[in-house]
């Protein structure tokens, strides 16, 4: 009997813990989030940035049309560099999914800062484009999270269809300019050497 009671207690505790974990990992869908932040970024539409070289200035703040106190649950702002639809086509590893825990649209973190509140005005952050950012078309999105770490609102630099105010990043090639020049010189030297070899061999053959 005692063993049976212990087993029942253990089972109850297990179920309780699983339920607690499930509640803390609640699904958040992008389509359910209100667009309450105004977000802007320094790149002009169509501009091409170089990974590992250029920087992006991102500014965000609460849309002043929001009712007073609507941001009471806002605790932090997480800003991301996100793929535009043109750079997601036929790439499942960049696929947009409504469930944010499965969404792969935004993969490069720009900033993670406390939410300062509407009274503090806009917040800006300068982001150096990392070398591992691949060549693609991008936009910037900011998520607001609550005390539990769940997304509760957002804002982005593009429109709802993600077709406006997009910019490109040219991926880092891994080669320095001096290496490129050296490679070009070496190639030219190889061509000249080969030509000299053929001319010399032809003269020998005629003799």
Side-chain-side CA neighbours of 147 within 13 Å: the count stands at 2
Whole-model pTM over 0.85 = no
Kindly tell me if the per-residue pLDDT of 22 is higher than 60: no
Kindly tell me if the per-residue pLDDT of 21 is higher than 90: no
The reply to whether 147 and 47 lie within a common domain is yes
Q: Mind listing the pLDDT tens digit for each residue in 58-108?
A: 999 999 999 999 999 999 999 999 999 999 999 999 999 999 999 999 999
Which pLDDT band, with edges at 50, 70 and 90, does 157 fall under? Answer: very high
d(CA 54, CA 58): 13
pLDDT for the residue numbered 121? 87
The reply to whether 104 and 150 lie within a common domain is yes
Residues with Cβ within 8 Å of residue 148, at least 6 apart in sequence: 24
Kindly tell me if the per-residue pLDDT of 41 is higher than 60: yes
The reply to whether 117 and 142 lie within a common domain is yes
The reply to whether 185 and 165 lie within a common domain is no
Q: Work out how many domains the chain is built from and give that number.
A: 2
Whether residue 18 lies inside any domain: the answer is no
Q: What is the DSSP letter of 66?
A: S
For residue 202, give both structure tokens: 């032809």
The closest of 85, 96, 109, 92 to 30, measured between CA atoms, is 96
Whether residue 64 lies inside any domain: the answer is yes
pLDDT for the residue numbered 197? 59
Query: How do the residues of the chain divide into helix, strand and coil, expressed in percent and rounded to 5?
Result: 30, 30, 40
The reply to whether 129 and 40 lie within a common domain is yes
The reply to whether 133 and 37 lie within a common domain is yes
Which range of residues forms the domain containing residue 113? Answer: 28-170
The reply to whether 135 and 190 lie within a common domain is no
End-to-end CA distance of the chain: 111
């Amino acid at each position: 009997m005692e063993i049976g009671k212990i087993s029942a207690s253990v089972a109850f505790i297990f179920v309780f813990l699983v339920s607690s974990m499930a509640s803390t990992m609640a699904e958040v869908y992008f389509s359910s989030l209100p667009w309450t932040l105004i977000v802007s970024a320094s790149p002009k539409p169509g501009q091409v940035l170089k990974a590992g070289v250029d920087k992006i200035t991102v500014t965000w703040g609460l849309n002043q049309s929001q009712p007073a106190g609507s941001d009471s649950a806002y605790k932090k702002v997480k800003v991301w560099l996100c793929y535009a639809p043109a750079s997601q086509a036929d790439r499942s590893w960049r696929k947009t999914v409504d469930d944010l825990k499965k969404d792969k649209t935004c993969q490069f973190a720009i900033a993670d800062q406390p939410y300062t509140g509407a009274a503090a005005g806009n917040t800006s952050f300068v982001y150096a484009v990392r070398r591992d950012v691949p060549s693609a078309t991008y936009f910037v999105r900011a998520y607001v999270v609550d005390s539990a770490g769940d997304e509760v609102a957002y804002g982005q630099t593009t429109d709802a269809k993600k077709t406006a105010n997009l910019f490109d990043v040219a991926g880092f090639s891994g080669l320095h300019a001096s290496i490129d020049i050296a490679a070009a010189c070496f190639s030219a030297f190889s061509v000249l050497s080969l030509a000299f070899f053929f001319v010399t061999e032809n003269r020998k053959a005629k003799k």
